[in-house]
Amino acid sequence: MTSIALENNDYKKEIKQKTAKPLLWIGLMSIVMFFAGLTSAVIVSKGTAVWETIQIPSAFAISTVFILLSSLTFYLGERSLKSNQLAKAKLFILATLLLGLLFTVTQYLAWTDLYKNGVVWAGSESSAAGSYFYALTALHLLHLLGGLISLLVVNFKSIKEKYNAENLLGVQLSSTYWHFLTALWVYLYLFLIFIA
């Protein structure tokens, strides 16, 4: 079996440039449908079951601020890369990772708050509303873990100065995913306020 062009690095790079972004976008579509399924499940449940009122922990508001800031720093980091200000870019990208971690911590704090208020995930004391609170936020966080891993890689590469204005596909993919997670969180946060 002979190989034509496929092993050629220029060819591989060209295909990657052409297809990596659309692959990500369509992948994001499927995540949208996943959460659309879950949130419409909440609406159906709300219409049929006894719905418990839940006090939204303030930590969720703080985490919203963190994730919005992280998107801002990622945007600034990408912009700095585009103008080849590598030192600035490094800082912004590192800040993004830290803000992402802070978001994770505040999510955990919010769950402990919920638990203290008697909202439990499962068992005889649980209610559908409470379980949805945990399920939606945890599944978002699970997707965010993927984002954090990609941020680790991007940070590592940016510290080693592998990115510049001509070569930043990896950063663009990671930031698209990250902005998506921010938007998804804002949607979920508003949705939680709506169902609480």
Partner 1 sequence: MSATHHHHEEQDFLFKYIFSQDHKMISKQFLITGFLMGFIGMVMSTLFRLQLGFPGESFWAIDFFLGSWAENGVMAPDKYLALVTMHGTIMVFFLLTAGLSGTFSNLLIPLQIGARDMASGFLNMLSYWFFFVSTIIMLISLGVEGGSASAGWTIYPPLSALPQAIPGSGLGMTLWLVAMAIFIASSLLGSLNYIVTILNLRTKGMTMTRLPLTIWAFLVTAILGVLSFPVLLSAALLLIFDRSFGTSFYLSDIYIGGQVLEHSGGSPILFEHLFWFLGHPEVYIVLLPALGITSEIVSTMSRKPIFGYRAMVTSILAIAFLSVIVWGHHMFVTGMNPFLGAVFTFTTLLIAIPSAVKVFNYITTLWKGNIIFSPAMLFSIGLVSTFISGGVTGLILGDSALDINIHDTYFVVGHFHIVMGLSAIFGMFAGVYHWFPKMFGRMMNNTIGFFHFWITIVCAYGVFFPMHFLGLAGVPRRYYTNSEFPLFDNMIDINELVTWFAIVAAFAQLLFVFNFFYSALRGPRSSQNPWRANSLEWTAPVEHIHGNWPGEIPEVHRWAYDYSKVDENGEYVSGEDFISQVVPLGPNEKDGGH
**CA-CA distance, 70 to 147, in Å (whole number)?**
12
- Crossing angle of helices 128-159 and 9-48, in 10° steps, is 160
56 secondary structure, DSSP code: P
Task: Find the binder of partner 1 among 98, 101, 102, 128 (CB under 8 A).
Answer: 128
Q: Could you give the string, one character per residue 38-77, with x where binding to partner 1 holds by CB under 8 A and - elsewhere?
A: x-xx--xx--xxx---------------------------
The rounded distance, in Å, linking the Cα atoms of 60 and 105 is 10
The CA-CA-CA angle for residues 28, 105, 114, to 5°, reads: 95
CA distance 136 to 41: 11
Residue 28, C-beta contacts closer than 8 angstroms, at least 6 positions apart = 176, 177, 180
Residue 27 vs 105, nearer CB to partner 1: 27
In this complex, which beta carbon is closest to partner 1, that of residue 105 or of residue 145? 145
For the CB of residue 22, give the shortest distance to partner 1 in the complex, in Å.
Answer: 5
Among the listed residues 62, 88, 60, 61, the one whose alpha carbon sits nearest the alpha carbon of residue 75: 88
Q: Which residues pair with 167 in a beta bridge?
A: 164
19 binding partner 1? (CB under 8 A): yes
Q: Nearer to partner 1 by C-beta: 37 or 87?
A: 37
Site string for partner 1, 129-148 (x = CB under 8 A): --xx--x---x---------
CA distance 173 to 150: 9
Q: How far is the CB of 61 from partner 1 (least distance, A)?
A: 26
Nearer to partner 1, 44 or 87 (CB): 44
Q: Does 18 bind partner 1 (CB under 8 A)?
A: yes
For residue 129, the minimal CB distance to partner 1 (Å) is 8
Residue 87 sits in the site that holds partner 1 (CB under 8 A): no
List of residues contacting partner 1 (CB under 8 A): 1-6, 11, 15, 18-19, 22-23, 26-27, 29-31, 33-38, 40-41, 44-45, 48-50, 121-124, 126-128, 131-132, 135, 139
